[in-house]
Amino acid sequence: MTTSSTLDFDVEALRADFPILAERVHGKPLAYLDNANTSQKPRQVIETIDHYYRAMNSNVHRGNHFLSQQATNALEAARRTVQAFINAREDREIIFVRGTTEAINLVASSFGENLRKGDEIVISAMEHHSNIVPWQMLCARKGAELRVIPINDAGELMMDEYEHLLSDRTKIVAITHISNTLGTVNPIKRIIELAHERGAVVLVDGAQAVPHEAVDVQALDADFYVFSGHKVFAPTGIGVLYGKASLLEAMPPYHGGGAMISSVSFEKTTYNDIPFKFEAGTPHVEGIIGLGAALEYLRGIDLDAVAEYEQELLHYGTEALLGIDGLRIIGTAAHKTSVISFMLSSANGDVHPHDVGTILDNEGIAIRTGHHCTQPLMKRFGVPATCRASFAFYNTKEEIDALVRGLRKVQKIFA
């Protein structure tokens, strides 16, 4: 089934940068197809973190000794790398947080103070729980209402319905750029334009987009854009909140403590300028520097070729999986990225996704099973959970072939 790529794309050279891909699981070659969950890390990131601890480990923004200056310089260089990577106007618009979840909570808790009873927040039916629960909590605090954009059977936003949901009461639109479960790529620029016509502010969950396509926050005119490091080949526990400077400057702090202050007395505290106003306490220095290294690594790759190659994997994988009798793909949007969620049945009926994942693991194949933190989406499609294979640029068609063989084995076991 394997065919050669039509692209001049040296996947084997890229795979050599990722040490874990040479591992064996249960005696089988690892086929890591769980990239929408978390990505693997190139040696360039691993070596950067190792060098940090060996040569410059220190706290930042708090000392005038050599190590502190070195660590501070490395952290702020990483901030500028993020700025360039997403084309933010200024580096002070880049706030370091623990991940996408904290970034959304920060905006909901801080910008959300502007909301009043009767205001509305619009999200979509395909959102991750991290882009649902913080807004529910905000609505409960403020007496606001949560409105949901429906999706069609292909897993695409119903844009006409979205336009009808927008009103002068709409204050926030919080929307995923790419669905972690369906792979659907949403028309973010148009979504933002329509929201802005109503005076609403837009937060974009870019956790699944940044690893797969170039993101330009200025071209999108996003008010807030958030993503996690661990999905973009960087360490866990680090993420980014981009916000327009004018919005961030007007927002109250999210946490109080060291570094986010200008001066403190028992009578009054004055806050630091952005970005530091939102970065209380000792930051995840290792993670920030590792994130900078990961984005620099990606800047050294032809991202257009990456996107094209991943689309090739998506099309190959879709065709291969649809060749299995009893397999149904959930999410068939016309515009999607390299994520395939599916249900599998055998002669005796549906096979539970957890059983599928366990058997595949014994074959060295890593996929995600469950509701993928999108329980309302599972309900929309009438399934309790799905299997999900998600590809990165270091995956191969041979690994997809291994997945197909593993799924056929699952069917034989449950026949």
Q: Which of 399, 309, 316, 214 is nearest to 8 (CA)?
A: 309
Q: How far is CA 310 from the centre of its chain?
A: 16
Locate tokens 């729980």: which residue? 129
Residues 6+ apart with CB under 8 A from 252: 110, 113
Going by the DSSP 8-state scheme, the letter that residue 336 receives in this structure is B
Biggest alpha carbon distance in the chain? 73
Q: Which of 222, 204, 229, 53 is nearest to 127 (CA)?
A: 204
For residue 370, is it left (φ>0), alpha (ψ between -120 and 50) or beta? Answer: left
Q: Which of 126, 140, 218, 211 is nearest to 174 (CA)?
A: 126
Question: CA distances (Å), 40 to each of 172, 198, 336, 340, in order?
Answer: 34, 41, 22, 19
Length of the chain: 415
Contact status, residue 177 vs residue 146, Cβ threshold 8 Å: no
Of 373, 380, 383, 408, the catalytic one is 373
Say whether 373 is catalytic.
Answer: yes
End-to-end CA distance of the chain: 24
Residues 6+ apart with CB under 8 A from 1: 320, 397, 401, 404
Write phi, then psi, for 45 (nearest 5 degrees): -75, -45
Question: CA distances (Å), 326 to each of 51, 274, 407, in order?
Answer: 50, 54, 10
Going by the DSSP 8-state scheme, the letter that residue 355 receives in this structure is H
Residues 6+ apart with CB under 8 A from 213: 185, 303, 307, 337
Going by the DSSP 8-state scheme, the letter that residue 80 receives in this structure is H
Locate tokens 């050669």: which residue? 4
Which residues does the annotation mark as catalytic?
373
